């Protein structure tokens, strides 16, 4: 961001110099920051890869997460119903968990086996909205603010002109892109919407209460509407917030104890359901331009950015390339190795152990130093053999001195190469053991 601001400042001065040369001409100079230095492509690519990996981790667990949300609501409903049917102070058990109802007959609070006070009505309420949110988001792929703004009047009927069949549709109000769209209501989504309506409908009037919702994106209060995602808070209807949706999704993850490969909790956010919906739709054959209309994107590149599945053409072409390469290579390379070949392969690793370390030479390759291991860069010195390497270095120094005295010029060059290799191995051991900075041989600045 700093580079972009500095480059924009230089370009502004250049433009001002063209308009007012007398005032800005002396300050117009070439910008020292190149266009490549302000490119944000690498960061965007890494972000895309990280988000795609997040979607791939959660998409196979979507059905498990939905069943866990339904099971949590079932358990919470059973706890609330059982607690309401027993006298105050009595004990009851739900799914093997003991509880003791509180003394207040007007309250649905109870204490668990550890003595902690649990408000079962609040637990059931949060469990229900967690289940409803999961089902609504995974069947529609809408944004969380669009879900929270859905009203009773958003459900409309459309009669097909060809067959006359009535199709239920869900009208999504303008949100991020200010574009209204209509989605088809599946039988599963219709069951969820009917359950929500039965829950929020006023028992006396049979109508859905009017509530006023604060829009976090627009920073304003919306007009009163028959919003579906509302609950009774202290006798007054109130709307759910996006932060509440995120919290109850975390509670569902804690209930099912779902973790990733590293053991950390595998969290789900409302945006994850939107990405999984688009990914699953395109993966099952829905054309991308139709997925763009359903998702409400203004650009199809945004829709494809949500898609976390590798292109089928790339995968099939790669598989064809592997099959073609195998057909062209000799068949002997794909046969099962004999016992003698397998023993020779295992013996190669046994012969890698040397007196001063381990040889990293690959299987089937010859030694390029004729087993002069001190000179070889593939030798991995053993820290326990440092004293032996010091003795070899001192011996080489003495032999070089003797060769210089006797005039054995033919041996001096080879001895110096071995001395350089021994000193390099000793330095490698000292650097690895000390864990200090590595000397790169760069000149020091005084």
Q: What is the DSSP letter of 259?
A: B
* pLDDT on residue 275: 92
167: left (phi over 0), alpha (psi -120 to 50) or beta: beta
Return the bridge partners of 110, or none: 101, 118
Report the SS3 class of residue 241: coil
* pLDDT on residue 313: 62
The angle formed by the CA atoms of residues 294, 300 and 304, to the nearest 5 degrees, is 90
* pLDDT on residue 440: 45
Quote the CA–CA distance of 381 and 297 in Å, as a whole number. Answer: 59
Exposed, middle or buried by CB within 10 Å (0-12, 13-18, 19+), for 140?
Answer: buried
* pLDDT on residue 118: 85
Q: 255: closest CA among 54, 443, 75?
A: 75
Q: Find all residues with CB under 8 Å of 3, minimum gap 6, and list them.
A: 33, 37, 38
Q: What are the start-end ranges of the E strands in 146-255?
A: 155-159, 166-172, 181-184, 214-215, 220-221, 230-233, 236-239
Q: What are the start-end ranges of the E strands in 315-436?
A: 357-359, 379-381
CB-based contact 117:109 (threshold 8 Å): yes
Low-confidence ranges of the chain (pLDDT < 50): 438-442
Determine which helix (DSSP H) or strand (DSSP E) holds 342, and give its type and residue range.
Answer: helix 339-350
Residues 232-252 have pLDDT tens digits of 887 788 899 999 999 999 998
**Pairing outcome for strands 181-184 and 230-233:** unpaired
* pLDDT on residue 370: 61
Domains of the chain, residue spans: 1-39, 57-272, 358-432
Q: Which fold, 57-272?
A: hpI Integrase; Chain A (1.10.443)
pTM of the model: 0.63
Quote the CA–CA distance of 123 and 103 in Å, as a whole number. Answer: 19
* pLDDT on residue 369: 65
């Amino acid at each position: 961001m700093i580079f972009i601001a500095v480059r924009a400042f230089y370009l502004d001065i250049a433009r001002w110099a063209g308009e007012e040369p007398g005032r800005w001409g002396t300050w117009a100079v070439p910008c020292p920051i190149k266009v490549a230095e302000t490119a944000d492509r690498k960061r965007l690519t890494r972000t895309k890869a990280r988000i795609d990996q997040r979607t791939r981790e959660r998409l196979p667990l979507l059905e498990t997460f939905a069943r866990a949300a339904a099971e949590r609501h079932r358990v919470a409903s059973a706890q609330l119903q059982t607690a309401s049917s027993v006298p105050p102070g009595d004990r009851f058990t739900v799914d093997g968990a003991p509880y003791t109802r509180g003394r207040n007959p007007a309250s649905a609070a109870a204490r668990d086996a550890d003595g902690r006070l649990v408000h079962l009505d609040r637990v059931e309420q949060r469990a229900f909205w967690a289940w409803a949110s999961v089902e609504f988001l995974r069947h529609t792929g809408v944004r969380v603010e669009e879900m929270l703004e859905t009203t009773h009047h958003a459900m409309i009927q459309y009669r097909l002109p060809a067959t006359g069949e009535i199709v239920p549709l869900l009208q999504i109000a303008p949100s991020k892109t200010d574009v209204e769209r209509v989605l088809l209501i599946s039988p599963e989504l219709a069951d969820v919407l009917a359950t929500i309506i039965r829950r929020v409908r006023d028992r006396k009037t049979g109508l859905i209460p009017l509530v006023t919702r604060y829009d976090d994106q627009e920073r304003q209060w919306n007009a009163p509407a028959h919003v579906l995602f509302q609950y009774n808070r202290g006798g007054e209807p109130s709307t759910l917030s996006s932060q509440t949706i995120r919290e109850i999704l975390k509670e569902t993850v804690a209930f099912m104890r779902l973790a990733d490969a590293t053991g950390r909790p595998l969290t789900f956010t409302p945006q994850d359901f939107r990405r999984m919906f688009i990914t699953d739709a395109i993966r099952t054959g829905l054309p991308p331009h139709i997925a763009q209309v359903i998702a409400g994107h203004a650009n199809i590149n945004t829709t494809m950015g949500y898609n976390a599945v590798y292109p089928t053409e790339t995968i099939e072409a790669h598989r064809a390339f592997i099959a073609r390469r195998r057909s062209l290579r000799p068949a002997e390379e794909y046969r099962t190795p004999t016992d003698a070949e397998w023993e020779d392969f295992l013996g190669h690793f046994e012969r890698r152990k040397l007196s001063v370390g381990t040889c990293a030479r690959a299987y089937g390759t010859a030694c390029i130093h004729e087993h002069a291991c001190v000179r070889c860069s593939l030798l991995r010195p053993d820290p326990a053999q440092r004293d032996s390497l010091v003795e070899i270095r001192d011996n080489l120094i003495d032999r070089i001195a003797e060769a210089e005295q006797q005039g054995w010029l033919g041996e001096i060059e080879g001895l110096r190469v071995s001395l350089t290799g021994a000193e390099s191995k000793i330095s490698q051991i000292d650097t690895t053991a000390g864990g200090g900075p590595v000397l790169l041989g760069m000149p020091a600045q005084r």
